[in-house]
Amino acid sequence: MLQPYACDPLKSRGRRHPEAPAPARDTFQRDRDRIVHCTAFRRLVYKTQVFLNHEGDLFRTRLTHSLEVAQLGRSVARTLWLNEDLVEAIALAHDLGHTPFGHAGQEALNTCLRNVDPGHAGFEHNLQSLRVVDELEQRYPTFNGLNLSFETREGVLKHCSRRHAERLTASEPGGVAQRFLDHSRPSLEAQLCNLADEIAYHAHDIDDGIRSSLVTIEQLDEVALFALCRRNAQADFPGLDGRRLVFETIRRMLAQQVGDVVAATSELIAVHRPADVDAVRRMPVLVVFSEGMHAQSNELKAFLRSNLYRHPRVVDMTERAKHVVRDLFAAYCDEPEQMPAEYAELRKLYRSVADYIAGMTDRFALREYERITGRQVFA
């Protein structure tokens, strides 16, 4: 039961290496299963979202974040009659290319690559997610990567600079990077994952921020959406406080945002009436917040940026993490034999070192740092 503008597995643009269809699963279900079974997916459990993995057992990791994005995405997809399996596949794969230590790791790796080679295209996690599913996973007899469908890969490549898009399109003409050159849009399922990603991390970063005592409920009351949901929760349940108040407030924030996306998107779809997925690709972005919710979401984003992501404790952690990545990068470039043989390929040494480091979990990177330098980062 899909709308004509949803991605239909029978009309997929296919895989790069042709394969016979699976007997009991459609194309996107098979993609989802391949992602769940891959190595990079299992590593997400020990990769940082905001808090380093060793800080506590209750904070989100990339794995739980990806599951929350999949859950939110699927509920919206179901309501809008979009393809739930495709949404799930994209959501589960969207962060596979993240380095250890979250954005700090990515920034450090990008700087390292550009320092050793000013002409280098650098490191970018969306591109790396595509690289993981296209190249780096090695588990099938006749091809590298997971050989996912065009539609899943299109969703995984969420952002891409013109320079990267030109490079990707040279090796895959009319492929998943083409839209960054001709400014078209991806499928509605891919658009939905972008928004679900944002809704999910805003919500869980509030939860983790309060849990870690880096932000308080009183501070969060500056944010209109939080304050409204907090007040409504306490009006319905007088005396509600502590963790239950936080959960109830966040639950209401999620419900409001999901309801808003469904309403605003349905309205746009009714106006533009896309006949099929290719029509969607030629239209403006259709999976959106209403203007009012867009402003509220931006307010929340700005709050989290200044109060959580730039909190001195988070910044301190971030600086240490960058240090680890920089030292590891230098060490492997000096002595490639410190890496497993399949990475120690000298022809593309910098890229291999970046791939090796990007694939690490937080704790493996810390152990490698200790092994190579004899120093401890968090003594």
Q: Which residues bind Mg ion (CB under 5 A)?
A: 95, 197
Output 95 or 248, the one with its CB closest to Mg ion: 95
What's the closest the beta carbon of residue 21 comes to Mg ion, in angstroms?
30
Nearer to Mg ion, 70 or 328 (CB): 70
**Cβ proximity to Mg ion, 207 vs 276, nearer residue:** 207
User: Nearest residue by C-beta to Mg ion?
Assistant: 197
How far apart CA 313 and CA 96 sit, in angstroms, is: 26
C-alpha–C-alpha distance, residues 47 and 30, integer Å? 25
Q: Least distance in Å: CB of 94 to Mg ion?
A: 6
Taking the least distance from each CB to Mg ion, the nearer of 176 and 195 is 195
CA–CA distance, 353 with 338 (Å, rounded to integer): 10
CB 104 within 8 A of CB 322: yes
Tell the smallest beta-carbon distance from residue 14 to Mg ion (Å).
27
- Nearer residue to Mg ion within complex by CB, 83 or 126: 126
Select 197 or 205, whichever has its Cβ closest to Mg ion.
197
Q: How many helices (H) and strands (E) does the chain have?
A: 18, 0
CB of 83 to Mg ion, least distance (A): 20
Q: Is 340 helix (H, G, I), strand (E, B) or coil?
A: coil
Compute the Cα dihedral for 239, 244, 249, 251 and give only its sign: negative
Q: How far is CA 308 from the centre of its chain?
A: 19
Closest to Mg ion by CB, 85 or 95: 95
Give the nearer residue to Mg ion in terms of CB position, either 152 or 352.
152
User: What single string gives the DSSP state of each residue in 154-215?
Assistant: HHH-----HHHHHHHHHHSTTSTTTHHHHT----HHHHHHHHHHHHHHHHHHHHHHHHTTSS
Query: For residues 221-232, b (16+ Cβ closer than 10 Å) or e, as one string?
Result: eebebbebbbee
Task: Give min distance, CB of 105 to Mg ion, in A.
Answer: 14
Q: Is the dihedral of CA 325, 327, 330, 336 positive or negative?
A: negative
With contact defined as beta carbons under 8 Å apart, do 267 and 261 qualify?
no
Minimum CB–partner distance for residue 187 and Mg ion (Å): 18
**Owner of token pair 């291999």:** 352
- Closest contact distance (angstroms) between CB of 129 and Mg ion is 10
Q: What is the DSSP letter of 132?
A: I
Q: Closest approach of Cβ 98 to Mg ion, in Å? A: 8
Closest CA to 124 of 167, 65, 91: 167
Q: Least Å distance between CB 89 and Mg ion?
A: 14
Please name every residue paired with 149 in a beta bridge, in sequence order, or none if there are none.
15
Residue bearing tokens 């459990």: 45
In terms of CB distance, is 233 or 308 closer to Mg ion?
308
